[in-house]
Amino acid sequence: MATKKNKKNILFFVIAVPVFLIVALGLISLTAKKSLFSANACGCTVSENIDPNAKEGTFEGKKVEVPALALTEPKTPVLGASSAERWIEVDLSEQKLMAWDGNQLYLESLVSTGLPWYPTPQGEFRIWAKARATKMEGGSGRYYYYLPNVPYVMFFENGEIPGWRGYSLHGTYWHNDFGRVHSHGCVNLPTPIAEKLFYWTNPASEGKGFIRTDAANPGTRIVIHE
């Protein structure tokens, strides 16, 4: 009887231990993936967040001056009414943005997209919300950044990249080195370009500090590619 009992115990461990290890490793992997994909990509507040007293930020180990905000909405729509689809193209290999009104080029600008270890996602997206300004903070070591009052923020998403990840097009006051990667995944724009796009894209801001799209107004299309 003792021999049979020992054999049963051995058989139990032979079967149970590998199964336990597989389940444990699966849970660890799932947790790691959940942590990875639940992180806000740009360390931003996905809403309007303006600090009227902000004077100084931090970027790549250096202090940067936070300019005074001058958020005024145009009295007339940019370029007037248009029946053509407006859409935005971001070329990662060229570090360039093109805004199209149908097949007519509205504007073109150098940009700064994500660093190799913080890549800007590729694919087709839609703007889902816009904020006149918000705060961005994240990174670590020499790549830590604290940037209040980031202006003219256009958040984008698709079926694979949810909006709360925080990817966006936005104005940039902390560097002027456009044409080279610098960001944690967002698309850095010269602030005057971001301002034009903010009022050119849907949803229309309608004087609001933060506005979301809805089913009837799905937001401007953005295509990001190499």
Three-class SS state of 11: helix
Q: What is the mean pLDDT of residues 128-155?
A: 94
Task: Look at 81 and 21; give whichever has higher pLDDT.
Answer: 81
Q: What is the mean pLDDT of residues 200-210?
A: 91
Distances in Å between the Cα of 188 and the Cα atoms of 107, 129, 184, 208, 213 are 15, 17, 10, 22, 22
Read off the pTM: 0.80
Q: What is the mean pLDDT of residues 11-27?
A: 40
Share of the chain above pLDDT 70, in %: 79
- Band (75; pLDDT cuts 50, 70, 90): low
Q: Tell me, what's the pLDDT at 153? A: 97
DSSP 171: E
DSSP 139: -
Share of the chain above pLDDT 90, in %: 65
The answer to whether residues 223 and 124 touch, using CB atoms and an 8 Å cutoff, is: yes
Q: Tell me, what's the pLDDT at 36? A: 33
Q: Tell me, what's the pLDDT at 216? A: 83
Residue linked to tokens 């300004």: 133
Residue 34 has pLDDT above 80, yes or no: no
Q: Which fold has domain 41-225?
A: L,D-transpeptidase catalytic domain-like (2.40.440)
